[in-house]
Amino acid sequence: MSDAALFDAGPLSLRARLFRRAVKVLIQPIFARADLSVEQRRQKLLRLTQATQITIPRGSHFESAPLGGIDAEWTRPAGAVRGTLLYLHGGAYVIGAPRVYRELTSRLAREARVRVATIDYRLAPEHPFPAAVDDAVSAYRALLDAEGAERLVIAGDSAGGGLTLACLLRLRDEGLPMPAAAAILSPWGDVTCSLPAMTAEAWREPILNVEALRECGRMYAGDTPADHPQLSPVHADLGGLPPLLIQGTDAEVLADDARQLFAHAQAAGVDVTLEMWPGLWHVWQLFAGLVPEADAATRRLGAFLGRHLP
């Protein structure tokens, strides 16, 4: 069964309107400023995150431990768990780290009753494609050996959403058992950056800079054609994937990435649901605990992943 809808969340809350303005001031320069090196972008994002993680749910526990030879941060909620979520962070394949995602992973852990393994996969330009896919698959294999596919789910945002699909495609092609379900948030599914929303929505996109995004895509692709299906899953045959939830917003330059991935998954017979939340911003779910729409979206993600676990 497949479903798509412009999700009716009602009028934007006052907090959503205020934070939409704030992210443009605080986050967009990290992506857009041409004078910043990749390393400076990474450090600025980490410093911003350290200053803003103030609503992590009580009882959440974090620890670092490798997974399949890949550094990872493990998030565990208070109480018992039903399985494990492999989380693949965003950052245009060039920035980002597990600790940036503690607000989100702690809520997904609580809502889905899972422990979350957020891997510190290798980043471009030092490690272009397929390094990130190799790391994701290695981590999944380690989880598979430890507890079996029926207790595993996978999710990712932005570039991590594209990476989630790339990982699933590799698993399918290698004949490995699929996880019970997958979720992708504001997915970057086309590193060629050629879908219509890339220009049509640029005027109201508060975070992503299109030219910077294209440059990140070139760094990640390296010598591989950008339309390779594991680089740009909008060009892939998505048949054989597990139940999939896609959350996006109509007010970002990646809006058509979400729509196209839904259409291709639906055509391939995947049990896929698309939620397009109006008027928000790229990966607004990261602001759970601060913005009501982020809380609501995170609860829906957790419920979707949790109901596919035993």
The model's pLDDT over 110-132, given as tens digits with 9 standing for 90+, comes to 999 999 999 999 999 999 999 99
Assign 50 a pLDDT band (cuts: 50, 70, 90). confident
Domains of the chain by range and CATH? 3-307 (3.40.50.1820)
Could you identify the residue written with the tokens 């990966």? 283
Residues 245-269: tens digit of each pLDDT: 999 999 999 999 999 999 999 999 9
Which has more confidence, 52 or 194?
Answer: 194
pLDDT at 5: 65
**Looking at residues 170-197, what average pLDDT do you find?**
98
Q: Which of 158, 186, 232, 275 is catalytic?
A: 158
Q: Which of 89, 264, 282, 308 is catalytic?
A: 282
Residues 267-300: b if buried by 16+ CB within 10 A, e if exposed = eeebbbbbbbbebbbbbbbbbbbbbbbbbbbbbb
Assign 52 a pLDDT band (cuts: 50, 70, 90). confident
Q: Is 282 a catalytic residue?
A: yes
| pLDDT averaged over every residue in the chain | 95
For residues 259 and 36, what is the distance between their CA atoms, to the nearest angstrom? Answer: 32
Q: Is 205 a catalytic residue?
A: no
Residues 134-181: tens digit of each pLDDT: 999 999 999 999 999 999 999 999 999 999 999 999 999 999 999 999
pLDDT at 109: 97
pLDDT at 1: 55
Q: Which of 252, 264, 275, 308 is catalytic?
A: 252
Q: Is 111 a catalytic residue?
A: no
User: Is residue 81 predicted with pLDDT exceeding 80?
Assistant: yes
